[in-house]
Amino acid sequence: MRLPPPLAPGACIGLAAPSGPVPGRELQEAVHYLEQRGYSTAVGAHALQRDAQFGYLAGTDHERAHDLQQLWLNPQVDALFCLRGGYGAMRLLPLLDVQAMQRVTKPFLGYSDITTLHLLLNGGGLATYYGPNAGGLQRLNAAASACLWGMLEQTMQGVLPAEPESMQTLQGGSTEGRLAGGCLCLLAHACGTPLQPNLDGCIVALEDVGEPLYRIDRFITQLLLSGVLQNAAGFVAGTVTRWENEEASPRPDNLLQLWLDRLGPLNKPILAGFPFGHEPDPLTIPLGRRAALNADARSLTLLPD
């Protein structure tokens, strides 16, 4: 797996909206934040567009694909940060020069719907950063911000700064492997497509937002029936933010029970409650990096490659 180089002072960061529409103020805040940190920015030409027919998309498929590919392939752009998630990245795949994109080595950041693009780039052998979209960088607390920039600027190693008491060991044990995963529903929807993930030997990180328990069950079951989880090395389960709002009579342990019910029979270490993804202050997970999971100690450690 190729590791992207650390960001150098003054680097140019591209900003694209491959999925949902971006409010103008959010873009302005992202540009201001990055420039205050010493970077220049290159904003996709259609970053503030909204598709006239489908308002949940940031411009047409061709506009979003153009911005994404133009910024990613531009040698003057040193990294690409996605502005927002939502929905729409899957629609771009037929319009992208996948082979050309997979040959590029630079930092790529985003989460949620951006899982699709992580799968595309990871499939070409590039490690990427599953972390906050650019529109929310200025709102991160100190720990989440230090984690993000420690990876982007220094290729951080060591234990990720998650509080052990905030997590739970669902199945004990320790293991090593490359980190993989992302947003659960996007991973499930990739099954049967050219982006179906190969998770053999990987520590699989899973999270989502706003889904009732039966849908979480269905997504995991689809991954199981597709055969992509059986040979994983272990699992890091985040949360499914606001799942309780989708249930008539939620109990605090319902989600934990579901993780254990679906993943427990695989007899792999399972650590639940890791703070990444759709969290107010998510830690960044470098997909493709080697890591050690110790479910008993409730720790995830980045290893040298």
- The residues spanned by each domain of the chain are 12-141, 158-302
Residue ranges of alpha helices (H) inside the chain are 24-36, 61-73, 98-102, 115-123, 142-154, 184-190, 213-226, 254-263
Considering 112, 153, 163, 174, which one is annotated as catalytic?
Answer: 112
- pLDDT of 127 > 90? The answer is yes
Residue 245: what pLDDT? 84
pTM reported for the whole predicted model: 0.97
State yes or no: is 112 an active-site residue.
Answer: yes
* 207 has catalytic annotation: yes
Pick the catalytic residue: 46, 66, 118, 278? 278
Q: Do 158-302 and 12-141 have the same topology in CATH? A: no
CATH architecture of 12-141: 3-Layer(aba) Sandwich (3.40)
Average model confidence (pLDDT) for the chain? Answer: 96
62 a catalytic residue: no
pLDDT recorded at residue 155: 84
Lookup result for tokens 């506009």: 63
Confidence of residue 248 (pLDDT cuts 50, 70, 90): confident
169: exposed, middle or buried (Cβ count in 10 Å: 0-12, 13-18, 19+): middle
Among all chains, which residue has been given the structure tokens 């996605």? 82
Which one from 26, 63, 207, 211 is the annotated catalytic residue? 207
Are 111 and 130 a contacting pair, CB within 8 Å? Answer: yes
Write the CATH number of the domain with boundaries 158-302.
3.50.30.60
Is residue 284 scored above 90 in pLDDT? Answer: yes
Distance, C-alpha 108 to centroid of its chain? 10
Burial of 60 by CB count in 10 Å (0-12 exposed, 13-18 middle, 19+ buried)?
middle
